[in-house]
Amino acid sequence: MDAFTLHRLHFAFTITYHYLFPQLTMGLGLYIVIFKILQVRRKDEVAGDVARFLSRIFGLNFAMGVVTGLPMEFQFGAGWSRFSEAAGGVIGQTLAMEGVFAFFLESSFLYLLLFGEKRLSPRAHLGAAVLVFLGSWLSGWFIIVTNAWMQHPVGHEVKADGTVILTSLGEYLTNPWAFWQYLHTMLGSVVTASFVVASVGAFYLLSGRHEAHAKKLLSIAVPVGLAACILVAFPAGDAQAKMVAKHQPVTFAAMEGHFHTEDGAGLVLIGQPNMETLTLDNPIVLPRFLSFMTHQRWDTRIEGLTSYDRSRWPDNVPLLYFAYHVMVGLGTIFIGLMSLSALQLFRKRLFQTRILLWGLMLALPLPYIANTAGWLTAELGRQPWLIYDVMRTRDGYTLEVSSGNVLFTLLGYMGLYAVLSLIFFALALRILRAGPEIAPPKGSTAPAGGET
Amino acid sequence: MSLELVWFILAGAALAAYIVLDGFDLGVGIVHRFVAVTPAERRLTMASIGPVWDGNEVWLLAAGATLLLAFPKLYAVGVGGFYLPVQILLWLYLGRGLGIEMKHHHVGGPLWDELWDSVFSVSSLLIALFLGLALGNVVRGVSFDERGRFFAPLWTDLLPTSEKVGILDVYTLVVGATAAAGLALHGALWLAHRTEGDVAVRSADLAKRLCFATALFAAITSAATLAVQPLVFEVARERPWALLFPAASFAAIAVCWVEVRRRRSERAFFASAAFLVAMFATAAATLYPRLLPSAPGAPSEGITVSNAATTEYALSVGLVWWIPGILLATTYFVRNYRRLPRRLRLEDLEEHQ
């Protein structure tokens, strides 16, 4: 493999692995706040136990996010130095904001959340939970603004030597692309957290342990999860797809598997892109639906992939197509599963409906796959550009680093992350086994204080 | 004062904050296995940094991203050129974080604990060494090619004067040893004034020896720098006030020595912090306006604040949020440190922690 491919693989591997953790913690932060509010407002001690239990899961995932996130901060320079040199003056703003506003906040209050419960008043402890939640969602905002700018650059100017300079911080921070992408991403994170919380609840209920806590977990995770599953698709996902159709029409055609221009284009449900014949094998298509969903008219023309110059095509059309369809397909399953669960919960029968509990329990890995597929869609869809219409990916990697050296560090990360995964599972199982009925830690070393 | 100088100072201040803050918890890692013997004592040393080490590390991220913001070319060419040591350093941080987390979860038996104690200690020592190597490389300079870029191999012939220099050479190793000794001293002094009992006593004893070692290495580093980097003489002629920084660092280590002998660990700790800052400031003041100079063997312009800085607009709009943001972060730190127990005792530890 050449250095370019290895650099791409290196970034893709490290970022994909990293995002397994923040996608849970951001959504879980919301759940901790919800359960803390129930504890404080309604004196609900079961909710208090649940918040403490979820905080332990949060703490483990946060630590994993930190150790795998630190490398990301430096991958821009290590593997992609030509990109960093050209665009650092723009993306440096948000990456530094993330450190200054989000990471300091999170790291300063996480310890209080995890170990300060006995020394803080209940309200102050809730305050710590809110600040940690806020920190993680701020961090998400700065990263999405950075990525949105690469997808749809605004507030900048390209100089003759290829350097991209910032001309308006305001425009950069209020990129319309970032708004929908943020909403879609954060709701995706809430979907993951909902399935994790529901899955743990279902597991305890099915195994006949911690019944009161399991019911508490499920009775919040199902309605919140249903709302997130619907909202992530509509309006968030829908609006984002329309933005792709408007600003990245080539990408849109590729991810929809739409090869040839048509008036009243059909929506592909399944089928395999055949890059030799430029058609779909074994397709099932809903006629005219793509036009309707994109433009609210049954007969609008949608340009197919073949009407664009091949040099502008995303370089891996089938993978992009599958990533997008996996995300959408799983999203549809999530809405179905959560709707049925919500219906049964409303009828007060969910806790007896074993088949649904089994479904919720086994669904645990699916939102991780859906979120990963979503990011693959965004990043593969942006190809062959690193900054859309400004800088090609091929022009961004570090020329000085030879392919052997990239392979060396890629293998290093793979080995380390394999070990990390084993340890993560061992610790996660341990938290699961200990269960939600645990006393708050004494927190002797926690900074005390009541003004949060 | 030019905007470039303002950002040079701000990024430098963030890095200095990193060195002083993460410096002591790295130092705790280095001395951990020597000053804490029983499992309970080892939990005590870990607990003394438990609430703060993660936040301390954030200063490195903040400083790194600040360099990207203000001096994208330095970040890009520097991190790209130091590709191998940067990745290895990141692995070490990963291992260290893992070690702390595993000790914290206290999962297995004595062998398991022994393993993670060692991972924590060894990675802390190696990180301290690498940070020193990094500083040594920046002061000595690197071998730029004709396009103004470089790729530093881990080592070449171990000489700072060769045509193509590596990360490891006799000069950078001396700086690395100085950093390891200095951070170990800083960490030992943290334990000496923040814990109680045998750990504190052993730490204070060890600090005496470390203080001597640090002063010795610092002297060797200074002499070696005069031999390796001719810029020093130029700077001494052009802006003699910059000599205040090396003078301050020697004053600080002398004060540290006196206070260690008098067993006033808290004062000694602040003296070691001042020493670390002054050493770092010496390097910064010597290099300015260079950010990454060229190695003596193959001279070129190198990277300077003016050829690396982004536009004036980005620099000035960045100030608007960076300064309030960092002040806000500082208030969290002050608050959290104030509320740490003055001295941590074995009895304070939880049984199951």
Q: Is B217 exposed, middle or buried (0-12, 13-18, 19+ CB in 10 A)?
A: buried
Residue of B nearest to A441 (CA): B350
Q: In whole angstroms, what is the distance from residue B199 CA to residue A223 CA?
A: 52
Q: Judged by CB atoms within 8 Å, which residues 163-222 of A form the interface with B?
A: 165-167, 169
Q: In whole angstroms, what is the distance from residue A422 CA to residue B92 CA?
A: 18
Q: Write the CA distances from A418 to A17, A369, A421, A439, integer angstroms.
A: 10, 18, 5, 33
DSSP 8-state secondary structure symbol assigned to residue B239: -
Q: Chain B interface, mutation test: which of A56, A58, A84, most B Cβ atoms within 10 Å?
A: A84
Q: In whole angstroms, what is the distance from residue A220 CA to residue A338 CA?
A: 12
Q: Regarding predicted confidence, which is higher, B334 or A438?
A: B334
Residue of A nearest to B75 (CA): A77
3-class DSSP state of A450: coil
| Residue matched to tokens 């979907």 | A191
Q: What are phi and psi of A265, to 5 degrees?
A: -75, 145
Per-residue pLDDT averaged across A75-87, rounded?
94
Rounded to a whole number of angstroms, the distance from the CA of A102 to the nearest CA of chain B is 9
State ipTM. 0.93
- For A253-297, the pLDDT digits (tens) are 999 999 999 898 889 999 999 999 999 999 998 989 899 989 888
Q: In whole angstroms, what is the distance from residue B45 CA to residue B24 CA?
A: 12
Tokens standing for residue B112: 């398991």
Is the pLDDT confidence value at A449 over 70? no
Task: Please list, in sequence order, all residues whose beta carbon lies within 8 angstroms of the beta carbon of residue B106, skipping any fewer than 6 positions away.
Answer: B43, B113, B352, B353
Q: In whole angstroms, what is the distance from residue A111 CA to residue A366 CA?
A: 30
- For A2-30, the pLDDT digits (tens) are 999 999 999 999 999 999 999 999 999 99
Residue among B104, B127, B105, B103 nearest B115 (CA): B103
- For B205-254, the pLDDT digits (tens) are 999 999 999 999 999 999 999 999 888 898 889 999 999 999 999 999 99
Q: In whole angstroms, what is the distance from residue B292 CA to residue B254 CA?
A: 30
Tokens standing for residue A346: 């409303």
Q: In whole angstroms, what is the distance from residue A244 CA to residue A302 CA?
A: 13
pLDDT at A225: 97
pTM, 2 dp: 0.94
| 8 A C-beta contact, residue B222 and residue B62 | no
**Per-residue pLDDT band at B295 (split at 50, 70, 90):** confident
Residues of chain A neighbouring B69 (CB-CB closer than 8 A): 88-89, 92-93, 95-96
Q: In whole angstroms, what is the distance from residue B214 CA to residue B180 CA?
A: 9
Per-residue pLDDT averaged across A364-391, rounded?
97
- For A347-357, the pLDDT digits (tens) are 999 999 999 99
Is the pLDDT confidence value at A451 over 50? no
Residues of chain A neighbouring B52 (CB-CB closer than 8 A): 111
Answer whether A166 sits within 8 Å of B314, measured CB to CB.
yes
Residues of chain B neighbouring A91 (CB-CB closer than 8 A): 68
3-class DSSP state of B338: helix
Question: Residue A211 half-sphere exposure, CB side, CA atoms within 13 Å?
Answer: 3
* Percent residues over pLDDT 70 in chain B: 97
3-class DSSP state of A117: coil
Is the pLDDT confidence value at A130 over 90? yes
Please provide the size of chain A in residues.
Answer: 452
- For B79-104, the pLDDT digits (tens) are 999 999 999 999 999 999 999 988 87
